[in-house]
């Protein structure tokens, strides 16, 4: 996956747009209940599941977003499955 930091847009490795990360409540992963589950956490504000993308591949994320276009993801720049671009650009 490719993550454009300046716009928070996520693309597949082939450059196909997947989704734009946006949280109207500015929720932070570290603030969510720690259920000792590395794959996902529950957000009590929107009652949605936030999926940790660290062990997901392009296809899994594409499938997830296809099933639920509003699906929430957690992305960390240190993930080995993500290439980060546009770090110093302004959106």
Partner 1 sequence: MKELRIIKTARSIEDANMAADMGFIPLVKKLKPLKKLFNTVGVFRNKKTNRLEEAEDYVVYRQYGDVISYEDESEWELVVPFYKYYPYKFNSQYAAYLIPHDIEEGEKVILEDLIEDYYGGSFWFRHIRVKSLQAIWTGDDFSILYDPETDGVCTWVG
- Which of 29, 33, 37, 42 is close enough to bind partner 1 by CB under 8 A? 29
**With binding defined as CB under 8 A, does residue 37 bind partner 1?**
no
Any idea what DSSP says for residue 36? S
Report how far residue 47's alpha carbon sits from residue 50's, in angstroms, rounded to the nearest whole number. Answer: 10
Indicate if the alpha-carbon torsion angle 79, 33, 43, 65 is positive or negative: positive
- Which of 15, 30, 34, 36 is close enough to bind partner 1 by CB under 8 A? 30
86 phi-psi bin (left φ>0, alpha ψ -120 to 50, beta other) = left
CB of 80 to partner 1, least distance (A): 6
Binding to partner 1 (CB under 8 A) within 43-82 occurs at 45, 50, 72-78, 80, 82
Bridge partners of 84? 3
- Which residues contact partner 1 (rule: CB under 8 A)? 5, 8, 20-31, 45, 50, 72-78, 80, 82-84, 87-88, 90
């Amino acid at each position: 996956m490719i993550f454009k930091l300046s716009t928070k847009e996520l693309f597949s490795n082939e450059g196909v747009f997947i989704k734009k990360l946006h949280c109207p409540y500015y929720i932070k992963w570290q603030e969510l209940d720690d259920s000792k589950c590395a794959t996902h956490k529950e957000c009590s504000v929107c009652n949605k599941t936030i999926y940790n993308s660290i062990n997901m591949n392009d296809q899994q994320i594409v499938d997830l977003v296809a099933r639920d276009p509003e699906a929430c993801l957690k992305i960390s720049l240190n993930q080995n499955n993500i290439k980060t671009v546009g770090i110093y650009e302004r959106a």
